[in-house]
């Protein structure tokens, strides 16, 4: 590609509102442009990298028997009512109306659409298992779109869904997906860990998140120095922030009602700040500790109240003896638990100490949307671990370290949740009607692009791993007015491509300094510079990553390029 004829609008200055490296560099090197908050265009270089990432993903999905489809972003409200998510999802769901006042959704994921399709088309166990996947634009009205491509409101995802007649079959596909994800992220040059994660509001038991290690990551993970053990420890951050002051309690004379559905509403009702509200979940009553564990991803203003625990040292909660859950306080947590979490809390508390007094229904709430098999059946206390840096890894190998991670993908055993809601039945091998069981598997394609840049850059720009670079070689002609330079440039541009290299050819009439700076910023793995030794058939060869640089006779160029 001739740089004079493409669109690579590099910027000298760091854009004001870009606060992390990947965002800055992708803007500065001319890969992306922001349209408005959380929404981006991919320019030619950005689109090329996206294509490469997608190719790697497609190859690995096809290799495990995935079938690519393309489902609509525009989805009917009715499907979302069938699954219950029209009400459950809250403001993150992008909703819109057509001219007839019908409601629609811009899909944040496709469980509803894919399950309804399979429900309509597959009736027999003979057609199972099947895995469908797509690479498609998703919409989420994120509360805080930020960090460029890392958290957009419109973004590209690979989402896959598998349908099964039996749990064993789901286990197999899950394992195959897990391995495919490991291959994908390895091929993309990422330093990542597959971590045991919380299954949140979606139910199901087994789920792993794939985390690219990076200090800008929003999740904290714990991993072993010597084994594969890794877990998502969102609670670690919460604890760091809140252990210092845990005695604040909500005023007990006031009791929240089911009208307060979000944490913010609860706090407003009690006239306290959100921060105080959070602390109050970690209260201490008469020298006994109160543990609150929720598993929900419900709309609590994006604050995940997943594993909150107050103990003096971070020991396993099973070792906390005097745990007492105070009914009145618990009752005041009711609104947070719309969707069933209070019952989970009690269940966990009971499992932890056996003698917890739970006041879940103290206020007489009728808790809706409780799904016992989802919320209780699959939970084991093993799911919750409390560990600190330097502890022995739970698998006995190595010690625990903490790091920040970017969630680039997630694999998830959904079970029968959507299939039941949407009626995805089939005839099993006994001729009886049964409900399918499902897995879902996502990769943030555009987020992965940014995560790669986060891990692969230096002071001067991006340093692409070979497998994802938009071109293999950056060919520079320093002075296009000099005939011997432009002639040699044109010749090499042709020869390199004929030899199978993809080449970005800087044939612009720019100063050498501009060309070098842009080249470093753009970050292609290899650079060939045609300069004032062109007459002697000598070019300069440079490796972006190492900075290693040498003069090479044109005749030897293909030897050093390899
Ligand atoms: P997060 O915890 O970061 O909000 P999520 O768990 O809500 O992500 P999933 O529903 O698991 O996301 O979606 C699958 C993948 O899509 C994620 O692993 C992530 O890589 C990507 N993704 C999710 N939300 C965004 C977003 N707002 N912008 C870009 N990529 C996203
Ligand atoms: Mg999210
Ligand atoms: Mg997540
Ligand atoms: Mg996720």
Classify residue 15 by its DSSP letter: P
Helix (H), strand (E), coil (C) string for 400-433: EEEEEEEEEEEEEEEECHHHHHHCCEEECCCCCE
Task: Name the closest-CA residue to atom 5, ligand 1.
Answer: 407
Give bridge partners of residue 538 from the DSSP assignment. Answer: 553
Q: What rounded mean pLDDT belongs to the chain? A: 78
**pLDDT reading at 331 higher than 50:** no
461 dihedral zone (left: phi>0; alpha: psi -120 to 50; beta): left
Percent of residues, the chain, with pLDDT higher than 90: 62
Contacts of 230 (CB under 8 A, 6+ apart): 193, 194, 195, 196, 211, 221, 222, 223, 224
Number of H helices, E strands in the chain: 17, 27
pLDDT tens column, 174-230 = 999 999 999 999 999 999 999 877 544 333 357 889 999 999 988 777 788 898 877
Using a CB cutoff of 5 Å, list residues around ligand 4, an ion.
Answer: 410
pLDDT computed for residue 400 by the predictor: 76
111 lines ligand 1 (CB under 6 A): no
**Residue 461: which pLDDT band, with cuts at 50, 70 and 90?**
very high
pLDDT tens column, 416-442 = 999 999 999 999 999 999 999 999 999
519 lines ligand 1 (CB under 6 A): no
Tokens of 54: 């997608």
Ligand 1 pocket: which of 135, 195, 410 to mutate (most atoms within 8 A of CB) = 410
pLDDT tens column, 269-314 = 656 665 554 444 433 333 333 333 333 332 222 222 223 332 222 2
Å from CA of 302 to ligand 2 middle: 8
The SS3 assignment for 384 reads coil
**Residue 402: which pLDDT band, with cuts at 50, 70 and 90?**
confident
* C-beta of residue 261 within 8 angstroms of C-beta of residue 338: yes
Instruction: Give whole-number Cα distances, 193 to 177, 403, 454, 493, in Å.
Output: 15, 10, 16, 40
pLDDT tens column, 121-158 = 999 999 999 999 999 999 999 988 999 999 999 999 99
Task: Name the closest-CA residue to atom 31, ligand 1.
Answer: 444
**Residue 388: which pLDDT band, with cuts at 50, 70 and 90?**
low
Beta strand 67-68 pairing with 461-462: unpaired
Ligand 1 pocket: which of 39, 184, 299, 444 to mutate (most atoms within 8 A of CB) = 444
Q: Which of 284, 370, 358 is nearest to 328 (CA)?
A: 358
Å from CA of 305 to ligand 2 middle: 14
- The total of other beta-carbon atoms located within 10 Å of residue 555's CB is 9
Mean of the pLDDT values across residues 75-96? Answer: 93
- Buried residues in 339-354 as b, exposed as e (16+ CB within 10 A): bbbbbbbbbbbebbbe
Q: Is the peptide bond before 435 cis (omega within 30 degrees of 0)?
A: no
pLDDT computed for residue 384 by the predictor: 34
pLDDT computed for residue 191 by the predictor: 96
Mean of the pLDDT values across residues 329-342? Answer: 28
pLDDT computed for residue 276 by the predictor: 52
The SS3 assignment for 8 reads coil
pLDDT computed for residue 272 by the predictor: 60
pLDDT tens column, 45-78 = 999 999 999 999 999 999 999 999 999 999 999 9
**Residue 265: which pLDDT band, with cuts at 50, 70 and 90?**
low
Beta strand 503-506 pairing with 67-68: unpaired
Å from CA of 274 to ligand 2 middle: 20
Task: Name the closest-CA residue to atom 13, ligand 1.
Answer: 442
Task: Name the closest-CA residue to atom 18, ligand 1.
Answer: 409
Distance, in Å, from the CA atom of 128 to the CA atom of 434, rounded to the nearest integer, reads 12
For residue 217, the ligand closest to its alpha carbon is 1
Contacts of 268 (CB under 8 A, 6+ apart): 260
Tokens of 382: 């093993």
Least confident of 164-168, 255-259, 289-293: 289-293
With tokens 């895995």, the residue in question is: 131
- CA dihedral sign, ordered 270, 274, 276, 280: positive
208 lines ligand 1 (CB under 6 A): no
Å from CA of 24 to ligand 3 middle: 24
Task: Name the closest-CA residue to atom 19, ligand 1.
Answer: 444
Mean of the pLDDT values across residues 379-397? Answer: 56
Ligand 1 pocket: which of 106, 218, 442, 446 to mutate (most atoms within 8 A of CB) = 442
**DSSP secondary structure letters along 120-171:** HH--BGGG-SEEEEEEEEEE---SS-BTGGGB-SEEEEEEEEEEESSHHHHH
Segment (H or E) for 99: none
197 dihedral zone (left: phi>0; alpha: psi -120 to 50; beta): beta
Å from CA of 342 to ligand 4 middle: 23
For residue 185, the ligand closest to its alpha carbon is 1
Mean of the pLDDT values across residues 379-384? Answer: 32
pLDDT computed for residue 399 by the predictor: 86
Mean of the pLDDT values across residues 362-367? Answer: 35
Contacts of 380 (CB under 8 A, 6+ apart): none
Mean of the pLDDT values across residues 240-245? Answer: 30
Mean of the pLDDT values across residues 405-413? Answer: 95
pLDDT computed for residue 327 by the predictor: 25
Atom of ligand 1 nearest to the CA of 109: 10
> What pTM does this model have?
0.78
**pLDDT reading at 535 higher than 50:** yes
Å from CA of 233 to ligand 2 middle: 16
Tokens of 518: 């842009």
Tokens of 280: 């109050």
**pLDDT reading at 374 higher than 80:** no
**pLDDT reading at 86 higher than 80:** yes
Atom of ligand 1 nearest to the CA of 157: 16
**pLDDT reading at 395 higher than 90:** no
pLDDT computed for residue 143 by the predictor: 84
Distance, in Å, from the CA atom of 183 to the CA atom of 190, rounded to the nearest integer, reads 10
Å from CA of 160 to ligand 2 middle: 17
Å from CA of 463 to ligand 3 middle: 27
Distance, in Å, from the CA atom of 111 to the CA atom of 116, rounded to the nearest integer, reads 8
38 lines ligand 1 (CB under 6 A): no
Tokens of 349: 């508390």
Ligand 1 pocket: which of 23, 92, 157, 300 to mutate (most atoms within 8 A of CB) = 157
């Amino acid at each position: 590609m001739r740089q004079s004829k493409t669109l690579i609008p590099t910027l000298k200055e760091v854009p004001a509102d870009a606060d992390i490296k990947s965002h800055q560099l992708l803007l500065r090197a001319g890969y992306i442009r922001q349209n408005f908050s959380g929404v981006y265009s991919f320019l030619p270089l950005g689109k090329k990298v996206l294509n490469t990432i997608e190719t790697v993903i497609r190859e690995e999905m096809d290799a495990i028997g995935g079938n690519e489809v393309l489902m609509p972003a525009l989805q009917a409200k009715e499907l979302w009512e069938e699954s219950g998510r029209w009400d459950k999802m809250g403001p993150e769901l992008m909703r819109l109306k057509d001219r007839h006042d019908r409601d629609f959704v811009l899909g944040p994921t496709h469980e509803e659409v894919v399950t309804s399709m399979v429900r309509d088309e597959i009736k027999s166990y003979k057609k199972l298992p099947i895995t469908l996947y797509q690479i498609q634009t998703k919409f989420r009205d994120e509360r805080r779109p930020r960090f460029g491509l890392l958290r957009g409101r419109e973004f590209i995802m690979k989402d896959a869904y598998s349908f099964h007649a039996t749990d064993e079959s789901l286990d197999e596909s899950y394992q195959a997906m897990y391995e495919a994800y490991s291959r994908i992220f390895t091929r993309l040059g990422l330093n990542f860990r597959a971590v045991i994660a919380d299954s949140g509001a979606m139910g199901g038991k087994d789920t792993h998140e794939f985390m690219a290690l990076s200090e800008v990551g929003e999740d904290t993970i714990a991993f072993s120095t010597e084994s594969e053990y890794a877990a998502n420890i969102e609670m670690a951050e919460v604890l760091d922030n809140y252990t210092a002051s845990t005695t604040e309690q909500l005023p007990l004379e006031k009791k929240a009602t089911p009208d307060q559905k979000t944490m913010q509403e609860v706090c407003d009702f009690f006239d306290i700040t959100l921060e105080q509200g959070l602390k109050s979940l970690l209260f201490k009553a008469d020298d006994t500790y109160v543990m609150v564990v929720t598993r929900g991803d419900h709309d609590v203003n994006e604050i995940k109240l997943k594993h909150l625990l107050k103990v003096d040292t971070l020991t396993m909660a099973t070792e906390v003896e005097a745990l007492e859950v105070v009914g009145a306080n618990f009752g005041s947590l009711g609104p947070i638990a719309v969707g069933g979490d209070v019952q989970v809390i009690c269940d966990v508390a009971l499992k932890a100490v056996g003698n917890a007094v739970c006041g879940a229904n103290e206020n007489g709430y009728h808790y809706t949307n409780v799904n016992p098999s989802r919320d209780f059946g699959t939970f084991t206390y093993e799911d919750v671990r409390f560990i600190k840096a330097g502890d022995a890894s739970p698998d006995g190998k190595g010690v625990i370290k903490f790091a920040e991670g970017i969630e680039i993908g997630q694999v998830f055993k959904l079970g029968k949740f959507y299939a039941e809601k949407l009626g995805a039945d089939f005839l099993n091998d006994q001729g009886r009607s049964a409900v399918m069981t499902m897995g879902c598997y996502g990769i943030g394609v555009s987020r992965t692009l940014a995560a790669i840049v986060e891990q692969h850059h230096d002071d001067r720009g991006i340093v692409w791993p070979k497998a994802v670079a938009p071109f293999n070689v950056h060919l520079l002609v320093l002075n296009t007015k000099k005939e011997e330079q432009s002639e040699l440039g044109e010749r090499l541009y042709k020869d390199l491509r004929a030899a199978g290299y993809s080449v970005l050819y800087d044939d612009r009439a720019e100063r050498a300094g501009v060309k070098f700076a842009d080249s470093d910023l753009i970050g292609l793995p290899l650079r060939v510079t045609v300069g004032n030794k062109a007459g002697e058939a000598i070019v300069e060869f440079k490796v972006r990553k190492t900075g290693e640089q040498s003069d090479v006779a044109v005749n030897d160029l293909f030897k050093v390029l390899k």
